[in-house]
Amino acid sequence: MVVEQKQTNILAYEKYKTRSIFFLCFLALALILSALLALRAGSYETSLVEIAKAIFGKADAKMNTVVQNMRLPRVITAILGGCGLGITGCVLQAVLHNPMASASTLGISQGATFGASFAIIVLSAGTQGNTGINFSNSLLISLCAFICSMGVSALVLGLSRIKKITPESMILVGVALSAMFQGGATLLQYFASEEQLTSVVFWTFGDLGRTGWKEIYIMAVVVLLACLFFMLKRWDYNALESGEQTAISLGVNVNRERIVNMIICSLTASVIVSYVGLINFIGLIAPHIVRRFIGNNHVYLLPCSALMGGVLLLLGDLGARGIMSPVILPIGAITSFLGAPLFIYLIFKGGNKK
């Protein structure tokens, strides 16, 4: 009887493993197809063959310029940003044992907004020219946004260590700090000039087209190193999923893992947000969509959440560019507008299954 049960469990796991790998391959294919569609989208239409040539500089000069200097950086930014936000959301939900955990609910995004507003208004890093918004010192804006977003993370971790609050309560601390920094950004905007206010609003919209290759290299290094670290810790997340006592019995230093992972998640999300602006709901919704298909095994949940985040951000950018072409809608508004009802749907669907 015991042998038969063991064989049944092995067969069930092999079936689950096959399904998870298939879903992982499906997401990888979806990411590639979404990237190709994003490369093809634009006022300068061409075939996928020409785009492939242009990526390697083998097309005509005009096509090479359009793809390498405009479309390819935007697509790579979307992939890196989506993957980074998706996997950090998954890890935060695991270490805090809270399905609502993400960069936005912990106040990281709101801290970045305050930092960018401070740079644009107080340090005069953003102006509006005759041709539209011109961030006269984009490095200063990104630096201030990064410092403030990391400052929020440090406050959350510091308060949690001083008062020994539960991981679940850390989300409430993040929400409170979000409100505080959002209020601070609003006060700064109250004293801003019309040009500065326009620059702040434009920054908060989120824009995948404001990154150059230098920013992309930095994002790539941070996101890839973070993903590697998270994958090495995948079994610890599975242990934490079973509860703190179970994780401790399996040799996991719960407090240390929680702090280290929160720091790395905050660093990754802060770098992304400081370069592209506010991109809401990607880190929150991507892991929940993946869980509907493969469950909570972080061996597959982590890479699938990263790929799902990349797909969602690419599709969101396609929608932002295609809905009212040639007008490009703000990507942050698109992800929030589509992500919120989808998240509500997943909540109610999950509740009906219980």
Q: List the CATH number of the domain containing 42.
A: 1.10.3470.10
User: Would you state the pLDDT for residue 353?
Assistant: 46
Contacts of 287 (CB under 8 A, 6+ apart): 86, 89, 90, 93, 301, 305, 308
Query: What average pLDDT score do residues 157-175 get?
Result: 78
Query: Distances in Å between the alpha carbon of 88 and those of 147, 268, 314?
Result: 18, 8, 18
Residue 258 located in a structural domain: yes
Query: What average pLDDT score do residues 245-252 get?
Result: 84
Residue 177 located in a structural domain: yes
Q: How confident is the model at residue 348 (pLDDT cuts 50, 70, 90)?
A: confident
Summarize the chain as % helix, strand, coil (round to 5).
Answer: 80, 0, 20
Indicate if the pLDDT at residue 3 is higher than 80: no
Residue 2 located in a structural domain: no
Mean model confidence pLDDT for the chain: 84
pLDDT digits (tens, 9 = 90+) for 228-248: 999 999 999 999 888 888 888
Residue 1 located in a structural domain: no
pLDDT digits (tens, 9 = 90+) for 255-285: 888 889 989 999 999 999 888 888 888 988 9
Residue 214 located in a structural domain: yes
Measured at the CA of 276, the angle between CA 270 and CA 280, to 5 degrees, comes to: 75
Supply the range of the domain harboring residue 104: 14-353
Residue 9 located in a structural domain: no
Residue 6 located in a structural domain: no
How many structural domains compose the chain?
Answer: 1
Of residues 262, 278, 231, 211, the one with CA closest to residue 75: 211
Residue 286 located in a structural domain: yes
pLDDT digits (tens, 9 = 90+) for 106-162: 888 889 889 989 988 888 765 544 334 444 457 888 889 899 988 888 888 887 777
